[in-house]
Amino acid sequence: MNSHTPSWARTALWWSVYPLGACGAPIRKLDEPGIHHRLGRLESWLEYILELGCNGLALGPIWASTTHGYDVTDHLRIDPRLGDDSDFDSLVAACHSRGIRVLVDGVFNHVSRDHDDVVAVLRDGLDSPSARLFRLDENDPQGLSRFEGHDSLVELDHSHEEVADYVVQVMNHWLERGADGWRLDAAYRVPLDFWAKVLSRVRASHPDFLSVAEVLHGDYPAMVDHGGFGSITQYELWKAIWSSLKDRNPHELQWTLTRHGGTRGHGIPWTFVSNHDVTRIATQVGSEAAAVATEIIMTLPGMPAIYYGDELGFTGLKEEGWSGDDEIRPVLTDHPGGWDEAGEYTLNSTKRAIHVRRTHPWIVDGEMEVTGCTQDQISWRVWSTTGDWLEVHVTMDEHPRLYMTSSGVPR
């Protein structure tokens, strides 16, 4: 674990949620004017999070935005579709009273085209003071760089000190209101030198905060060290898990686990099998293999996150278009409960997998090696410096299964 990872993160297990969807906020249709206090709906799920075995709530974007939350118009205001500062304060207090950490989602690579500073540039031209905040693109009709081709998202220019000052201000503001850490959206689009400078400044005021960088691929250890992150999203592992289970080909997972073992000492990788941007694991591989996928991340070094509903067997296909994310970002009921038999089965399976991790907490940064790989089986061993060990065997046939033995109780 590097010096940028707080000690409490060693035992963090996250329940990750997309608040706009989970709380039933309209994404593309406008609310009636005013504040709509929906964020509090998540408070009724906090005991459920604990019963599941998790102790962290990772929130998707909750800032004022135009549509889906990643098109922010004001980083210092709660989205009125979710509520206001009082709703945020109440949720954080309810979490902390139960020992649940809170991670918030920072969208600092780009803003909405409806952001006041973008509107000023479009009105006053590229010579206006606000234009210094944004990347310019001579091939764009309006001269502003668009994030990955999205007309509605304008990229900030991270070479300017004003942008760094603003990001530090925003991060400190919500940490002071009780957030325990930040997920850094699209961190791969932002220069690592910028993150190193900004996170160092934030850490000076909040030395115990967690930063999780969203990175898709590349040299994870080098990125963590250069950028000063505490964690980084392990997309390579996510891909290898579902792809290997779906194709019944453990060799892809074998290669990725070798790379994954090399992240030891470079933060704690954020491990997952679904999130708000990808097809649900149960849709990718079926419910039986999805349970095995969850078991896999619980037996590997890293900081596991369960995407809300995966533990109940939720399905959802990621598609293109305006409504392409709707299936993977569903509404939650007002209160937990009332699952069907399949949901109960998946829930109990997930609880057992999390229990394995809870009873072997040293896995978080254990050493590991792949000990065997055949046409339909893969095995690995994880161990600690104090003599604890875990041996895992996964069969990837028509009915995939994970078997485990350890220095504790065989399973």
Would the pLDDT of 410 be above 50? Answer: no
Find the distance separating the first CA and the last CA of the chain, reported in whole Å.
28
321-327 average pLDDT score: 89
140-160 average pLDDT score: 92
Residue 362, amino acid? W
Would the pLDDT of 187 be above 90? Answer: yes
Q: How far is CA 360 from CA 11, 77, 195, 200, 284, in A?
A: 10, 40, 33, 32, 28
Pairing of strands 210-213, 231-232: parallel
- Name the H helices within 206-340: 220-227, 235-247, 250-261, 281-285, 287-298
Residue partners of 164: CB distance under 8 A and separation at least 6: 158, 194, 197, 198, 201
Residue partners of 213: CB distance under 8 A and separation at least 6: 184, 187, 188, 195, 223, 224, 227, 229, 231, 232, 233
By residue count, the chain amounts to: 411
Q: How confident is the model at residue 409 (pLDDT cuts 50, 70, 90)?
A: low
pLDDT one-digit tens code per residue, 238-266? 999 999 999 999 999 999 999 999 999 99
Is the pTM higher than 0.85? The answer reads yes
Q: How confident is the model at residue 1 (pLDDT cuts 50, 70, 90)?
A: low
Higher per-residue confidence, 151 vs 223: 223
Place of tokens 């907490």: 361
Q: What is the DSSP string of 204-224?
A: HH-TT-EEEE---SS-HHHHH
E-only strand ranges, 278-376? 303-307, 367-373
pLDDT one-digit tens code per residue, 348-362? 999 999 999 999 999
Would the pLDDT of 28 be above 90? Answer: no
d(CA 157, CA 141): 18
Predicted confidence at residue 135, as pLDDT, reads: 95
3-state secondary structure of 328: helix
Compute the mean pLDDT over every residue in the chain, rounded to the nearest whole number: 95
Predicted confidence at residue 152, as pLDDT, reads: 92
Residue 58's beta-bridge partner residues? 16, 103
Q: How confident is the model at residue 2 (pLDDT cuts 50, 70, 90)?
A: confident
User: Cβ distance 274 to 307 under 8 Å?
Assistant: yes
Would the pLDDT of 123 be above 60? Answer: yes
- Nearest of 267, 273, 355, 268 to residue 306 by alpha carbon: 273
204-218 average pLDDT score: 97
- Nearest of 200, 196, 229, 225 to residue 212 by alpha carbon: 229
* Structure tokens, 230: 């505490």
- In a 10 Å sphere around its CB, with 0-12 CB exposed, 13-18 middle and 19+ buried, how is residue 155 labelled? buried
- Nearest of 155, 157, 213, 152 to residue 181 by alpha carbon: 213
**Fold category of 7-365 in CATH:** TIM Barrel (3.20.20)
Cα torsion angle, 141, 144, 148, 151, sign:
negative
pLDDT one-digit tens code per residue, 35-76? 999 999 999 999 999 999 999 999 999 999 999 999 999 999
3-state secondary structure of 183: strand
330-342 average pLDDT score: 94
Chain CA centroid to CA 409, Å: 31
Chain CA centroid to CA 372, Å: 31
Q: Which helix (H) or strand (E) holds 121?
A: helix 116-124
Q: What is the DSSP string of 50-109?
A: HHHT--EEEE---EEESSSSSSEEEEEEE-TTT--HHHHHHHHHHHHHTT-EEEEEE--S
User: Cβ distance 217 to 236 under 8 Å?
Assistant: yes
Q: How confident is the model at residue 3 (pLDDT cuts 50, 70, 90)?
A: confident
pLDDT one-digit tens code per residue, 276-322? 999 999 999 999 999 999 999 999 999 999 999 999 999 999 998 87
Q: What is the DSSP string of 21-47?
A: HHTT--SSSPPPSS----GGGGGGGHH
Task: Classify residue 149 as left (phi > 0), alpha (psi -120 to 50) or beta.
Answer: left
Predicted confidence at residue 411, as pLDDT, reads: 43
Residue 372 phi, psi (nearest 5): -175, 145
Would the pLDDT of 32 be above 90? Answer: no
Would the pLDDT of 172 be above 70? Answer: yes
- Nearest of 160, 50, 70, 51 to residue 115 by alpha carbon: 70
Predicted confidence at residue 322, as pLDDT, reads: 79
